[in-house]
Structure 1
Amino acid sequence: MTEFWLSAGLLLLAALSFLLIPILRGRRRQQEEDRTALNVALYQERVAELAAQQAAGVLDGAQLDQGRDEAARELLADTEGAEPARLRHLGKALPLLAAVLVPLMALGLYLHFGAADKVALTQEFAQAPKSMDEMTTRLERVVQAQPDSAEAVYFLGRAYMAEQRSEDAARTFEHAVGLAGRQPELLGQWAQALYFAADKQWSPQVQALTDEALKADPNEVTSLGLRGIAAFEGERYQEAIDYWKRLLAQLPQGDASRAALQGGIDRAAERLGGAAGQASQPAPATARLKVRVELAPALQGKVRPDDTVFIFARASNGPPMPLAAKRVTVAQLPIEVELTDADAMMPQMKLSDFAEVQLVARVSRGGQPTRGEWRGQGAPLPVATQATQHLTIDSPDL
């Protein structure tokens, strides 16, 4: 922005020069007019002196005419370089007033109609964000500056989902649908946000949105995943398998979500009665991890008793979202908890679907599981570990 305002200042100085230069030129013309008036007065004085000498008998008529001619030539010579007098004068007040008002009006008009905020955002986005929170803040500013940009609103909704701010994401995706129309992907994202905002409760609105999305695009991935979850929770296991297999076919080889999705299909097949061909592998045993969490003594005065503490396990090599989580408060520390498949965030992503996980405890004053003030985490460990793990919250959550 410094370069922008410097350039604007130079342009304003150039504009002011067109107003101030005529004033300076006017002074020079005034000096020329004053000199011309003086020459005329001297000429008239010389002619009067010659007339007096002729009356006194000093000069005859021929000498008088000769003297007058000579005085006239001198007057013409002195006034030859003078510019003709202007018929109109703007005066000094009007140009000076314009010189003051022009920059003020230009600045006011630019701040009202210009795009200083967009210039600043462009420069800010030239640098990579240091955290998800910073990226979300930038996207919020973009949407504020460009409220009609469906693309910006969509990415803000995705950022809210990544931070598990489901209610904010639902409102944002609804806005995106209003801007871009009822596109299948937007409808699926909106339905997903509503589902998690309602604490994973299926609703008629989620049903209607996924119906509409799949009618327009039978392979819309978000809607397929949600419908599989609904079918599994409703014990319609064959239906869940069908939805998740359709989703699995859309995912590229090597996608981290494929293992979790296959685990969901396997569990649905097991509950269905082990129908042939429905599961590629037998369902894994239920995982059970014990962890004791405590707060470092150095942080005792830096947290409040009612601050939220999230204790969760996430895959060492897989999706970043927690596989199983529990929520307590600082006042309950130290505490020992047990994380199992029953604590899964999503039915098709459980602890038992992964061979290795990492335990994390986070203090979040704002109640957001993806960001907080302090954190403790352990090294990757096998999901079959039986010994109680110890976590100490002692590091800033960067």
Structure 2
Amino acid sequence: MILMLLVAIGALVFPVLKVRQSSAVAYKDSNLKINDEKIAELDLDLKEGRINQHYYKAAREELDRELLIDIPVESKDTAALHYTGTAKRHPALALMIAIFIPMLALLLYLDMGMHAASEDDFVAGQPSVNEQASIEEMTQALEAKIEKDGGTLQDWIMLGRAHKHMGNHSQAANAFAVVLEKDSDNAQVMLEQAEMLALMNNRKFNAESRALISRAYALQPDNPNTLWFTGVAEYQAKNYRTAIDRLRQLLPLARGDEDVIKSVIAIVAKSRDALIESGEEMPELAELLAIEGMMAEDVSSRANVDGNEQRSEVSTIATRLQVTVNVSEAVKQKFNANDVVFVYAKAKQGPRMPLAAQRLTLGALPATIILDDSMAMVEGMNLSAFEQLQVSARLSQSGSAIAQSGDYIGQQSVDRSKTSATDIALTIQIEKLVP
């Protein structure tokens, strides 16, 4: 996902900053021809009903990414010109390229530097130092352009997304606010603005961010992003029936994406439990999640893989992790005392959102901190809800919300099934380089 964002930002910003007439470089026409043929096939499939609108949009995004990847290094100038033309012919494509299929971790990880993937994927998929520097350079150049001529709508969108990528939530929110002044019906930017406001508000949707999400839903009620954000926002507001309704709408759009399905099931299950506790009658979870084309047993089996039934039994036992964090002397010498250390716990299986987290500085190490159920970012999705936990500590020189090459990390696993203790002590040594 991060690399996709890098490609998207680069592809959309470079034409703005660096498009110039050039006849010295020839772009490979065959790539463009093949791409246009594939688009024509998709258009025909959509017209004749062989695919739906959601599949069509996803396929168009994938074709665009393939085209960008196929651009040879020596042909960047001409490719940028072609891309600008493509964006003019298909304005929705230029906006949709940076759209994500949101997951719970996507809403939460930016603030604490956590990724929705496994730690192995997380480390392996990081942008290089050069790529990160390139994004920063493009952002600075884009800011200079905006200061000079006021910037186009697309300039401001890309500036907001670049700042979001780098973890600059306030700057991203400011840029998105300008976009919405210029384009008040941009549902996707409404969601991104709501995301930034939530990250600036202890990861909670306030009245302003919920209003943005509600407006986005009114504009695009079938958009997977809109459905996801609406479901999470309504869950936080304890409007459990609305949360269930929106997430049930999302479920058929998430076929094949196990992480999204697991996250949807987790929130629907918690919403159902809350309604039952308030005295309302609710159908069984499998029946509640049954949708056309997906058998109730199939959905239920996914819920059981996540251990929903087991979690309901253990969640009444509060868990506290006493985590002692240290760093090797060799690593310590490479950083400054004010550099940031992120400490967080996640479930080894199930939804990949952080269950508890704290932020320290290198100068405070060695330090012992507590991770407990009170730090849950979503009610019910806490340490006590899972038996298998992964606890990590990451040292970041830049303090970026996205892990980068050059950061250092340490990890420990916790198996709660092997101990009856509710207070669990562990030690993490930060010494592994993020390549």
Q: Which residue of 1 aligns with 2:139?
A: 140
**Superposed counterparts of 1:14-93, under 5 Å:** none
**Structure 1: runs of 5+ lacking an equivalent:** 8-117
Distance 1:245 1:161, change over 3 A: farther
Q: Any idea what the Cα deviations from partners look like across 1:105-143, whole Å, max 9, x if unmatched?
A: xxxxxxxxxxxxx959969x9xx9526734632652574
Aligned pair in 2 of structure 1 residues 290, 159: CA closer, same or farther (>3 Å)?
farther
Aligned residues of 1:261 and 1:348 also touching (Cα < 8 A): no
SS state at 2:402 partner:
coil
Match of 2:427 among 379, 390, 393: 390
Structure-2 separation of matches of 1:200 and 1:322: 12
CA contact (8 A) 2:188 2:216 kept: yes
Paired residue type of 2:274: R
| Amino acid in the other structure paired with 1:363 | L
Partner of 1:378: 411
What corresponds to 2:128 in structure 1? 130
Summarize the alignment of residues 102-251 of structure 1 with structure 2, pairs less than 5 Å apart.
Answer: 119=77, 130=128, 133-134=132-133, 136-137=135-136, 139-140=138-139, 143-144=142-143, 148=151, 150-151=153-154, 153-154=156-157, 156-178=159-181, 182-251=185-254
Deviation at 1:176, TM superposition (A): 3.7
Higher relative contact order, chain-length normalized (CA < 8 Å, sep 6+): 2
Aligned to 1:291: 323
Q: What is the aligned counterpart of 1:311 among 326, 338, 343?
A: 343
Give 1:81's aligned residue. Answer: none
The answer (yes or no) to whether the contact 2:324–2:426 under 8 Å persists in 1 is yes
Q: Distance in 1 between matches of 2:376 and 2:145?
A: 38
Taking the aligned partners of 1:270 and 1:348, their CA distance within structure 2 comes to 10
- Report sequence identity in percent: 22
Provide the rounded CA distance (Å) in 2 between the counterparts of 1:121 and 1:375.
37
Change (3 A) 1:250 1:342: farther
The letter for the 2-side match of 1:375 is Y
RMSD, matched Cα: 4.2
Moved more, 381-390 or 196-205: 381-390
Cα gap change, 1:249 to 1:173, in 2 (>3 Å) = farther
Offset, 1:379: 6.1
- TM-score, normalised by the number of residues in structure 2: 0.52
Aligned to 1:276: 282
Alpha-carbon distance in structure 1 between the residues aligned to 2:342 and 2:159: 24
What SS does the corresponding residue of 1:198 show, helix, strand or coil? coil
Deviation of the 1:235 alpha carbon:
3.0
Conservation of the 8 A alpha-carbon contact between 1:263 and 1:353: no
| Shift in CA distance, 345/306, structure 1 to aligned 2, threshold 3 Å | same
Q: What is the SS of the residue equivalent to 1:256?
A: helix
Alignment TM-score, normalising by the size of structure 1: 0.56
Partner of 2:92: none
**What's the offset of the Cα at 1:263?**
0.9
After the TM superposition, which of the residue ranges 174-183 and 312-321 deviates more from structure 2?
312-321
Q: Separation in 2 of the partners of 1:215 and 1:225?
A: 14
SS in 2 for 1:312: strand
- Distance, in Å, in 1 between the alignment partners of 2:133 and 2:349 is 25
- Indicate the residue corresponding to 1:72 in structure 2: none
Tell me the secondary structure at the aligned position of residue 309 of structure 1: strand
Q: Report if the CA contact (8 A) 2:410-2:431 is conserved.
A: no
Structure 1 residue 342: Cα displacement: 3.3
Q: Deviations over 1:271-326 (max 9, x none)?
A: 22264326345354346555321111224444444433210134557777644311
- Structure 2 residue 366 is the aligned partner of structure 1 residue 329: no
Q: Is the 8 A contact 1:210 1:223 kept in 2?
A: yes
Letter in 2 for 1:279: L
Residue 428 of structure 2 aligns with an amino acid whose one-letter code is: L
CA distance in 2, matches of 1:319, 1:153: 33
Q: Secondary structure at the match of 1:378?
A: strand
Structure 1 CA distance, aligned partners of 2:205 and 2:167? Answer: 18
